[in-house]
């Protein structure tokens, strides 16, 4: 069914959002706190002015590119506070939304990331964007126990199958994960990971992505006995596309399937990821939507997160005045 492109869709895909929140990287810089367990971060020799110009250009180009395809982008601008938030450009780590109108906030591991949580300001913006929050859930009380769950950074959701895929790590505590899964009625498929360095993958969404009919995963970093379970579970309903650890390092797993207001499907990714995918992998993905590569080289190099990390899906229903 084709919708009038001037009319916002009130139809929500079960798996894919047609609206996202993005936060401009006004305070972006190398984050020493997150670098403790994020091997994807690399410092660049740029002046503060050069860095800000580059990352704002990358951000604005991505916003314009998504909007040009009919994907609704809500820019969550904010007034900087006393605490700097170098990773605010990655909002998907502190909240998520559900079709019933719920906004949930999550406990993040690093102190300077906890300062990103601005529930009232975000709720006001979503209401002004005709995506009102009906109720809220708060899991940040787990911070008192030193336990963390960084939202869709660590939880890759199969909304159709009602499953959460999660690589356990400092930022993905099993107790908090199970508590959240129980709240929304989802099954948990949790597993360990081990990179060539011996470290764990810090966020599940850098190693895998689940779309409506496909799953991209760097399964070679999962221990064999758990790998078989993850592969078997995904293969029940998805076309499984395996990527290598080297491809994961180019953010081939940090991709996200979205839909336009007219229902057209897209797969957002970085230019680095697009260039690292093989022709066969690109062909497989194209069967599930138009590929949308964005050059976010500076953001992904310094921040250690890429396009998917920059997109916080909005599943709140569109409610016109």
Enumerate the β-bridge partners of residue 293.
269
Look at strands 208-210 and 187-191 and give their pairing. Answer: unpaired
**259-269 pLDDT, tens per residue?**
999 999 999 99
Residues 20 and 314: beta-carbon distance below 8 Å: yes
- The confidence score (pLDDT) of residue 41 equals 62
**102-132 pLDDT, tens per residue?**
999 999 999 889 999 999 999 999 999 999 9
- The confidence score (pLDDT) of residue 13 equals 63
**161-194 pLDDT, tens per residue?**
999 999 999 999 999 999 999 999 999 999 999 9
Tell me what the mean pLDDT of segment 213-237 comes to. 97
**46-64 pLDDT, tens per residue?**
888 999 999 999 999 999 9
**CA atoms within 13 Å, Cβ hemisphere of 225:** 0
How many other β-carbons are positioned within 10 Å of the β-carbon of residue 42? 12
Residue 84's pLDDT band (boundaries 50, 70, 90)?
confident
Q: Which domains does the chain have, with CATH numbers?
A: 19-313 (3.75.10.10)
Tell me what the mean pLDDT of segment 234-253 comes to. 97
State what percent of residues in the chain have pLDDT above 70: 94
């Amino acid at each position: 069914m084709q919708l009038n492109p001037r009319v916002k869709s009130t139809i929500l895909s079960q798996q894919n959002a047609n609206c996202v929140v993005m936060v401009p990287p006004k305070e972006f810089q190398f984050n020493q706190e997150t670098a403790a367990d994020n091997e994807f971060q690399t410092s660049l020799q740029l002046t503060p002015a050069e860095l800000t110009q580059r990352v704002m250009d990358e951000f604005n180009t991505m916003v314009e590119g998504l909007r040009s395809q009919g994907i609704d982008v809500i820019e969550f601008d904010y007034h900087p506070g006393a605490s700097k938030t170098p990773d605010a450009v990655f909002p998907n780590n502190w909240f998520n939304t559900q079709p019933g109108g719920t906004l949930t906030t999550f406990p993040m591991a690093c102190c300077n990331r906890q300062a990103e949580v601005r529930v009232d300001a975000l709720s006001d913006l979503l209401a002004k964007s005709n995506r009102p929050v009906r109720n809220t859930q708060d899991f940040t009380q787990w911070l008192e126990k030193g336990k963390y769950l960084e939202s869709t950074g660590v939880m890759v959701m199969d909304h159709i199958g009602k499953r959460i895929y999660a690589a356990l790590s400092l930022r993905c505590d099993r107790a908090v994960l199970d508590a959240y899964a129980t709240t929304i009625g989802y099954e948990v498929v949790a597993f360990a990971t081990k990179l060539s360095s011996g470290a764990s993958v810090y966020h599940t969404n850098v190693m895998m992505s689940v779309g409506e009919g496909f799953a991209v995963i760097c399964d070679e970093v999962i221990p064999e006995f758990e790998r078989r379970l993850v592969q078997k579970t995904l293969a029940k309903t998805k076309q499984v596309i395996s990527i290598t650890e080297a491809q994961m390092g180019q953010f081939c797993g940090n991709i996200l399937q979205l839909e336009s207001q007219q229902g057209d499907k897209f797969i957002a990714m970085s230019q680095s990821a697009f260039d690292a995918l093989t022709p066969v992998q690109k062909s497989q993905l194209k069967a599930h939507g138009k590929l949308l590569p964005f050059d976010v080289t500076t953001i992904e190099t310094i921040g250690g997160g890429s396009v998917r990390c920059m997109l916080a899906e909005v599943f709140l229903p569109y409610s016109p005045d």
